[in-house]
Copies of this chain bind each other. A is one copy, B any other.
């Protein structure tokens, strides 16, 4: 059960906001929800085809310029319904966070391991960068608190991600401080 093709629901969720092309959806996985889920176009185009076969989306062809065909996908009523069901049913499976760094840490035996400082510093730089990026994104998308009302979920997950990264950064700093001076 674990997987249950979540990609289809993400696509439906995005199309529920506005009609989009496969290309637009691909981009959304870079900017918007790339923070929380990833997918390549090679996964998206076939999935759109399947969703259309099942009647959850339809597409219209628009011409851009002279002859470039775009397929603009729309969600259908049954697609909307499926999306609503997915959101409404419980989410009882807390998926393990597959963090490669944490995995490596697990195999470190002692706090004197000479690899530890470099490893922690690298992650600190990475998570600091991510934190800054997320904070800028929040400031850009929600300059006034009142704007959070319109896209509440988006606001919440950004704010959640910021808190998560903030914790990660502080944990790394604290762990570095606790290291024995060699």
Residues of A at the B interface (CB closer than 8 Å) are: 6, 9-10, 13, 16, 33-38, 83, 86-88, 90-111, 113, 115, 119, 122-123, 126-127, 130, 148-154, 156-157, 160, 163-164, 167-168, 171, 175
Contact = CB atoms under 8 A, between A and B. Distances in A.
A83 B107 contact: yes
B150 A175 contact: no
Contact of A95 (B88, B99, B160): B99
A36 B105 CA distance: 11
Nearest to A120: B156
A105 B164 CA distance: 16
Copies of this chain per assembly: 2
A115 B94 contact: no
Contacts of A104: 86-87, 91
A109 B38 contact: no
A160 B95 CA distance: 16
Contacts of A6: 98, 100, 103
- Grouping DSSP codes into helix (H, G, I), strand (E, B) and loop, the A interface class, with mixed when no group exceeds half, is helix
B152 A36 contact: no
* Minimum-distance CB pairs A-B, first 7: A108-B153, A13-B107, A91-B101, A105-B153, A111-B152, A167-B167, A106-B153
A98 B171 contact: no
Which residue among A95, A104, A160 has the maximum number of chain B CB atoms within 10 Å of its CB? A104
Contacts of A96: 34-38
